[in-house]
Structures are given as structure tokens and as C-alpha cells.
Structure 1
Amino acid sequence: MANHFDFDQAEGLRRMLAGPKPRIVTFLSATPEDDKGAMLVNLGASLARAGNDVLIVDACDREYGVAQRLGVADRASLLQVARQQCALNQIIHQVPQGFGVVSMARARGGPDEARRLAKTFDVLVKQTGIVIVDGEFGDDDTFPVPIMDSAEIVVQVSTSAASITAAYALIKRLSQQLGRRPFGILVTGASEAEAKVVYDNMSSAASRYLAVQLTSMGSVPADEYLHRAARLGRAVVDAFPLAGASVAFRQLAGRFALTAMPQLGRTGGTSHFGS
């Protein structure tokens, strides 16, 4: 008994000294490329307005990422920090929407460079409250850094049949590579009722055919004010605070900041629709 107690004490002390784990959420998309960028900018702005320390890491190679959208894609990247070509504080760019943006870039110089990039990313995320990754699941079925395998993953989907099919195929690829673990679903361009139908159908199919648990992260309606705000170079929550999309993003940010997705290995999904 004493040995078990000593072990538990030591483990508890290690956890306290380690401090809270950083919140890392990778967003993948089965929607047109511009939809994810718009969603992430508005989510980041909503979280920042609620008092959260937010960093968006653009880890896109093929897609139109947040750094490009906000005009900071040509700056130094996290990979250059890993190569000791610049300092970490030189690559974090604060944008008017209220959060920081960092470009990642994939390591292509072999295992040693990949390990250095992973360690640099670990240092970066420990300095920030919430890290949102604008991500891609590579053609080789990997993420740029290994910690993204075990962090939260949210798939953005719309109501179109093509988007739903693509999202399901992406979840299947993820589960085959990462094992049985939960994934979040965010439905955009949809009313709450439409989003609930999409989520319920996807959740049922994933549970039945993949043995994968999906968690609803909520929904954002189609709203012309989103496009108006983008043309102004602002977040919709700032430019048009009473718009339907602004209300949805504030609700999404509130749930997002308070509640992490179920821990890996837990069962029993949670739907946030109607909350």
C-alpha cells in the first residue's frame, strides 16, 4: 500500500509541477477553402474579445491559410525558428482582430528537422492560452507535428452532400491513422435545425461503421454580414455585433473556451445543439 501511495504522490506532484496542458485544437475542413479561413478569423476574434489569449498557427501547405488571408504569410515561419534562423518572438504577428498568427511550414529536411520543429512548436504553445491550428491532414496521412495527433481535432462541414461525403471520408482517414478517438464537428452555413440533421446523420454513421465518437461543436448560419465584414478587413463580431453570425460566434467561443472535447478513450458523445 505504501508503495502505491508513494507512487500516487509522486505522480500528483509531477502533474502539478508540469502545470496545465496547453489547449491545442486543429481545424480541418470539408468546405471551400475560404470558408475555413473566415470561420477561424471570426472564432479567434470572438475568443479574444472574451478575454482569451489566442494564437492561430497556419499549418497549411496546399490550402489558402489564415496567414495568407491576413497578409502575414511572407513573414518568417516556425520552421525557421527550428532552424535557428530567427527568434520565436519574431514570428508571432498580432493582427487587428485581436489574436496572434504564426506560419508553421512543414519540415522537409529529414527526421532531425522534424524533431526540432516539434520541440519548437511545444515551446510556442506553452506560451499561449488557446492555440488554434489551421490544419491539413497530409497526403501521407500525417500532421506537421506529432502533438497534433493527440490534441483536439475539429472537422468543419457544410450542409451540401459533397461536403458531408468529404468530411466523412476525412474522419475515416483520421481514425485509420490515429486510432479510435473522438472528433469534433462544426457545421457552417446552416441554421441550427439544418446543422443538427447533418451532425446527427454523421454521428450515427461514424458510430455504426467506424466505431468513432463525434462531438458537436455547434453551428454558424449563412450570413451576408460575414462577407461584408471580410471586405472591411474586420471580424463580424466587431463590425456587425448584432448579426446572426456574430451571435453564433459568441456562443461558439463561450462553449469552446469553457469545454474541451471528451478525453481520448472516453465514450458517450455530447451534443451542444440547442444549448
Structure 2
Amino acid sequence: MASFPSDQAEGLRRMLAGPKPRIVSVVSALGADEKAATLINLAASLARTGSDVLLLDACGAANGLAQRLGAARAATLMQVARQERGLNEVVQMLPQGFAVATLARENLHRALQDVDAARRLANAFGVLASQSDIMLVDAEPDADDGFPIPAMQRGEIVVQVSCSGSSITSAYAIIKRLSARLGRRPFGVLVTGASPTEARQIYENMAQAASRYLAVQLTSIGSVPADADLRRATQLGRPVIDAFPMAGASVAFRQLAGRFARIDGGVARIPEYA
């Protein structure tokens, strides 16, 4: 891939230069398996840069990230909000170098009808986020096209998309619904399962459409190619950067982590594409 143009790099710097804690909610137009693999590998890659990373399962699915990572028995933030468990019981550190936590294991829409419960959950979320450099949230919009925690709506939002037509259509629809609900704001785009050329074309097409029809700015976070080694690493239960460090996906995740990592007083580093 060619280097980012200067305006694209500056846009990414602005997007990623917010104060600690950085809360990055990832919404996907792909299946649960692909999204989970992306989040787990990105978290492991960020941890390798020296960042303190927390991966928060906020989807509430039976086979969510916490379950996949063997951390489903830990307390949830909702239990903390109800004063049933302590905050120190929520986070579980993993051998991959990052921590994992769960927002809730119940219907949040119903639970958050209680204003006090919603406030206490938001407070617990804020305290938890402040304990990490980066909180990566496995997120999904609710029935009202919003997120259960206000801090998630104010933070960075990244939409994952692939090269399939249905995924691109779905990703654009997600951005359209979120922008209608949350107001005009930027979104990041992460393309997975595509070659560098395909990824750039997908991003450019989406960015043009979003700017023209939604008045929304998109920023390219980067891309990860389709890679059999990534699938094999997932089957082994290991990050691809550990199992197959020379794989194309490993190179891509290290580049992604480099874009998220902070250096020199909080300025995001924008490495050149090879």
C-alpha cells in the first residue's frame, strides 16, 4: 500500500489524539467469529506496544468475547452497578497480555429503564475505563441505534467491513443509522479480509458516499488481509502475531497497533505502509 496522504494522516491523528482513557467501540458488518478474531488480535498487538489494554464484551451474546476467552465467570459491570460484586472482580488478565471484562449478561435495555441503575453503570464504566490506556469495546447498536453507555457514544467508533457487497452495504447502513442517532461525527473504517488495493478502494468509495449523502467524515484505520495463518492461529487459541509472526495478518495487526499507540506526549504514530 502507498503511504497515507497528509490530510488522511492528520485526520487519523485528530481522531486518535483524545485524552486518556481512550474508548474505542468496534461495530462490525461481519459475523461474530470474524469480529472476535479481529478484536482479540488487535488487543494482543496493542499490548505488545506497551499499552495497557482492556477488551470489554458489551454485546451480551451467549458466545461473546468473554466466553471465547475463558473469562465468562468473572463479575459483570452491571453486577458492580447493583453493588452485588466489587470492581476488582470484573477484570481478568489474560496470557495474551491484555485484560477482558463483561458489561452485562442480561437484557440491558430493560435494566437501564431504571435511571439510577443506568447512572451507576455509567459511573462503573468510567472508573474501569480510567484504569487502562485503551479500552476496546465489542459493541453493537441497540434498538434505538445508540449504545448503552454515554461514554461509548462520545468515544471513537470504528466500523469493521470486508470486501463483500453485503458487508459494505451493511457497514454503510450502520454508519447512516449511528450518525442519525448520535449526530454528525467521524467514524473509523477497518477493512478485513481484503487485499491492500481492495481495502483502499472500499474505504474511498464509502468515504465519498458518506461525505456526499450523510455529511459524515470517515477515517481509514487500516486493513488486514485474508490469511490462512490467521484462521489457524484462531483455531489454536493464540494471537496470530505469536503463532505466526511473519504472516501477512501479523504484519497488518502490528501496523494497526502502531497507529493506535501513543508516543511523544500522546500523538498517534502513523507508520508507513510497506
Q: State the AA in 2 paired with 1:37.
A: A
Aligned 1:245-260 pairs, distance under 5 A = 245-258=249-262
Q: Deviations over 1:85-116 (max 9, x none)?
A: 11111110111211000000136151110110
Give the equivalent residue in structure 2 for 1:205: 209
1:142: Cα distance to partner?
2.0
The one-letter code matched in structure 1 to 2:91 is I
3-state SS in 2 of match to 1:162:
helix
Please say which of residues 135-144 and 208-217 is displaced more in the overlay: 135-144
Q: Give CA deviations for 1:48-86 in whole Å, capped at 9, x if unaligned.
A: 011110001100034843112212224310110111111
- 3-state SS, counterpart of residue 38 of structure 1: helix
- Residue equivalent to 1:193: 197
- Match of residue 80 from structure 2: 81
Tell me the residue number matched to 1:151.
155
Task: Tell me which moved more, 212-221 or 223-232.
Answer: 223-232
Letter of the 1:257 counterpart: A
Counterpart of 1:6?
A: none
Equivalence for 1:94: 93
**Among 183, 188, 203, the residue aligned to 1:179:** 183
> Does the residue aligned with 2:181 lie in a helix, a strand or coil?
helix
- Residues 1:244 and 2:245 aligned together: no
Counterpart CA distance in 1 for 2:272 and 2:255 is 11
Corresponding residue to 1:116 among 104, 113, 120: 120
The match for 2:229 is 225
3-state SS in 2 of match to 1:68: helix
Q: SS state of the match for residue 246, structure 1?
A: helix
Q: 2:37–2:234: 8 Å Cα contact kept in structure 1?
A: yes
Question: Share of identical aligned residues, percent?
Answer: 61
Amino acid at match of 1:103: T
- Alignment partners' CA distance in 1, 2:225 and 2:19: 34
- Contact kept? 2:26, 2:136, Cα under 8 Å: yes
Tell me the number of residue pairs that the alignment of Structure 1 and Structure 2 aligns: 246
Amino acid at match of 2:72: A
State the alpha-carbon separation in 1 of the partners of residues 212 and 195 from structure 2. Answer: 26
Amino acid at match of 2:140: E
SS in structure 2 at match of 1:27:
strand
Deviates more, 1:58-67 or 1:24-33: 58-67
Aligned to 1:65: 64
Whether 2:141 is the aligned partner of 1:137: answer yes
Check conservation: 1:216, 1:272, Cα contact below 8 A. Answer: no
CA distance in 1, matches of 2:145, 2:228: 35
User: Which runs of 4 or more aligned residues in structure 1 lie more than 6 Å from their structure 2 counterparts after TM superposition?
Assistant: none
Taking structure 2 as the reference length, the TM-score comes to 0.86
**Distance of 1:64 and 1:164 partners within structure 2:** 25
Please give the root-mean-square deviation of Cα atoms over the aligned residues, in Å. 1.9
User: If the length of structure 1 is used for normalisation, what is the TM-score?
Assistant: 0.85
Paired position in structure 1 for 2:46: 47
- Displacement of 1:273 in angstroms is 8.4
Q: Comparing 197-206 with 137-146, which one deviates more in the overlay?
A: 137-146
Q: Distance in 2 between matches of 1:225 and 1:171?
A: 31
Structure 1, gaps ≥5 residues long: 1-18, 260-270
Q: Distance in 2 between matches of 1:149 and 1:43?
A: 21
- Look up the SS of the partner of 1:67 in the other structure: helix
Instruction: Pick 1 or 2: higher relative contact order, CA cutoff 8 A, min separation 6.
Output: 2
Q: SS state of the match for residue 51, structure 1? A: coil
